[in-house]
Amino acid sequence: MKNKPKIISGLVFLSLILMGVPMPAQQEVVLTIREGMPMIPLALPGFVVRSDSLQAKAAADEIRKTLEGDLRYSRIFQLLPSAHYSYVRPLGPDKIFFKDWDSIQAKLLLAGEVSEADGGTVFEGKLYDVKSERFILGKRYQAEKSALRLAAHRMADEIMKLYGEKPIFTSKIAFVSNRDGNDEIYMMDYDGANPTRITFNRTKDYMPGWSPDQRRIVYTTYKRANPDLVILSLYEGKSTVVADRGTNFSGAFSPDGKKLAFCSTMDGNAEIYAADADGTKVKRLTFNNAIDTAPSWSPTGREIAFTSDRLGTGTPQIFIMDAEGSNVRKVSFGGSYHDAPSWSPDGERIAFVSRVDNIFDIYILNVRTNQITKLTESNARNESPSWSPDGRHIVFASNLSGTIQIYTADYDGSNLRALTSGRENKLPCWTN
Question: What are 268-286's pLDDT values in tens digits?
Answer: 999 999 999 988 999 999 9
Cα gap 103→100, rounded to integer Å: 5
> For 384, how many CA atoms within 13 A lie in the half-sphere containing its CB?
25
For the ranges 11-15, 241-245, 378-382, the lowest mean pLDDT is seen at 11-15
**pLDDT confidence band for 4 (50 / 70 / 90):** very low
For the four alpha carbons of 338, 339, 342 and 347, in that order, the dihedral sign comes to positive
Q: In the chain, what percentage of residues exceed pLDDT 70?
A: 91
Residue 75, classed as helix, strand or coil, is coil
Q: Is 90 exceeded by the pLDDT of residue 432?
A: no
Once rounded to an integer, what is the mean pLDDT over residues 352-380?
Answer: 91
* 148-162 helix and 54-73 helix, angle to the nearest 10 degrees: 40
Residue 112, classed as helix, strand or coil, is strand
Q: In the chain, what percentage of residues exceed pLDDT 90?
A: 80
- pTM of the model as a whole: 0.90
Report the mean per-residue pLDDT for the chain.
90
- Element housing 109 (H / E): strand 108-117
**pLDDT confidence band for 38 (50 / 70 / 90):** confident
For the residues of 243-295, what is the DSSP string, one character each? E-SS-EEEEEE-TTSSEEEEEE-TTSS-EEEEEETTS-S-EE----SS-EEEE
Per-residue pLDDT, 378: 83
**pLDDT confidence band for 100 (50 / 70 / 90):** very high
Residue 230's nearest CA partner among 214, 251, 215 is 251
SS3 content of the chain, % helix, strand, coil (to 5): 15, 40, 45
Q: Is 90 exceeded by the pLDDT of residue 353?
A: yes
Q: What are phi and psi of 219, to 5 degrees?
A: -155, 170
> Buried (b) or exposed (e) across 287-312, using 16+ Cβ within 10 A?
eeebbbbbbbbbbeeebbbbbbbbee
In the chain, where does the domain assigned CATH 2.120.10.30 lie? 172-430
> For 204, how many CA atoms within 13 A lie in the half-sphere containing its CB?
10
Per-residue pLDDT, 93: 63
Residue 82's nearest CA partner among 129, 46, 112, 57 is 46
Return all residues near 355 (Cβ < 8 A) that are at least 6 apart: 335, 336, 337, 338
- CATH number of the domain at 18-162, out of 3.40.30.10, 3.30.1330.10, 3.40.50.10070, 3.30.1490.20? 3.40.50.10070
Q: Is 50 exceeded by the pLDDT of residue 364?
A: yes
Once rounded to an integer, what is the mean pLDDT over residues 127-137?
Answer: 96
List pLDDT tens digits, range 158-178.
999 998 899 999 999 999 999
In the chain, where does the domain assigned CATH 3.40.50.10070 lie? 18-162
Residue 64, classed as helix, strand or coil, is helix
Once rounded to an integer, what is the mean pLDDT over residues 210-221?
Answer: 96
Q: Topology of 172-430 in CATH?
A: Neuraminidase (2.120.10)
Per-residue pLDDT, 21: 55
- Beta-strand ranges (E) seen in 118-237 are 120-129, 134-143, 172-177, 184-189, 196-197, 205-210, 216-221, 228-233
